[in-house]
Amino acid sequence: MSGGTLYFDWAATALPDETIIREAADTAISYYANPSSQHKAGKLAREKLEEARSCCAKALQVPSNTLFFTSGGTESDQIVLLSFLQRPKTGNILISNIEHPAVREQAHMLAYCGWKIREIPVDDSGILTPQTVVSAIDSDTAAIFIMAVNNETGAIQPLHEIIQAVRTNAQSGRHIWIHADCVQAAGKIPVSLTEWDIDSAAFSAHKLGGPRGIGMLYMRRRLEPFLKGGGQELGMRSGTENIFGAWGLSRCLQKYLFTTETNSTAMQRYYEQHKYCAEFIETLRNIPGCTIIPAQRGSTDIPEDRFSPWIVQASFKGVPGEVMVRALSEQGIYISTGSACSSKKKQRPVLDAMRIPQDIAQNAVRFSFGPATTHSDMQTLAQAVRAVASLFYSGKR
């Protein structure tokens, strides 16, 4: 880390991959024209845009015509959600009750247009079960939105099992659209859209060290977009295309995305991180007054592989979350209290959904890691957290 700082807020945004950012900037300078222009420069820019799309398709192992560049994960989620406003009759949409605000807030806006939004409850560990999802489906269910990896607790949802259960139990052979927010999954856990049998999924470049303001929507078959414009991205997302962002995203997916089969080095790092994370959690547990959220994480009942090894949430008795963040920040150690998108509201809907007691929730902080985080960094973080907590327990602060 630069300047003597230690960065543990990767779930909010990753440290920039300088090589990728510079390459994307050089590409944008060289291919400066509007990709929709009909002159030679425009056609060259179009070729570069499509090259980026093909690179993304290869990384995700899906056809190029199923991928659409967007402004980020939020827009990718919302394009799918808003498409249901085009339908001639309303129904209900199911979302997990730990969704990111990009889905949760937009879904509730659809309620003003006649749609019923039903929240599927997670268990105390923040994980959905296939049985819970299936039991929430009725004859009016049109779509289900499930976050692949929760951005606060790191809970990995069993998407493949849930989708299999939905497909098997859907009434009268109806096809229920299933969308996954994969923003915290890509590059962090094995991702396979075809194996999951998912209908659509959202991705974001800046969580992978790429540019901000660029994301991608995977859509296995087209939905009619609610918002219209110039018709770019086959009409799914109008607006002048972002060559800089698209090229950066393509390189990020190429470098960081992995499945269990395609990238043995990334899988090895994934398993290694699980080991480091388990050690980090055990060290925190030994700090007086510490509660890991969920408390069952790493137990024999809920094995550690049900959680992303890149995100850990914990609470420290008597130490408000914002105080822990400030105290560590003064030492050049950066963590967060939770989702950056909700931090100003000081609300913890994810922890509320998990039925975490208020005194624990208000003291909760999130530690999130990335490719540049070393084992030594995590050990230093644990020692710093212990030191801050001990000041409060001893009454010296």
Q: Is 282 helix (H, G, I), strand (E, B) or coil?
A: helix
The reply to whether 341 belongs to the active site is yes
* Mean pLDDT, residues 170-195 taken together: 91
* ∠ Cα 316 329 377 (to 5°): 80
> Would you place residue 275 in the very low, low, confident or very high pLDDT band (cuts 50, 70, 90)?
very high
Q: What is the pLDDT of residues 312-332, one digit of tens each?
A: 999 999 999 999 999 999 999
H/E stretch holding 248? helix 243-256
394 has a pLDDT exceeding 80: no
Percent of the chain with pLDDT over 90: 83
In this model, does residue 5 exceed pLDDT 80?
yes
pLDDT at residue number 185: 98
CB atoms within 10 A of CB 154: 27
Sign of CA dihedral 283, 285, 288, 294: positive
Of 312, 98, 75, the closest CA to residue 205 belongs to 75
Q: Which of 56, 182, 277, 341 is catalytic?
A: 341
Mean pLDDT, residues 205-223: 97
> Does residue 165 register a pLDDT over 60?
yes
Q: Which among 5, 18, 2, 3 has a CA at the least distance from the CA of 211?
A: 18
The pair phi, psi for residue 286, each rounded to 5°, is -80, -5
Segment 112-143, tens digit of pLDDT:
999 999 999 999 999 999 999 999 999 999 99
Which H or E element spans position 118?
strand 116-120
- As a whole number, mean pLDDT of residues 376-397 equals 87
Q: If you average pLDDT over residues 171-184, what whole number do you get?
A: 88
Mean confidence (pLDDT) of the chain: 93
Per-residue pLDDT, averaged over 167-196, amounts to: 91
Residue 67 has pLDDT above 60, yes or no: yes
Tell me the average pLDDT across 62-73. 97
The string of pLDDT tens digits covering residues 8-30 is 999 999 999 999 999 999 999 99
CA distances from 57 to 194, 213, 221 (A): 12, 20, 15
Cβ-Cβ contacts under 8 Å for 34 (sequence gap 6 or more): 42, 45, 240, 241
Q: Interhelix angle for 73-83 vs 101-110, to 10°?
A: 20
Instruction: Specify the higher pLDDT residue, 57 or 173.
Output: 57
- Greater confidence (208 vs 300) lies with 208
Global pTM reads: 0.93
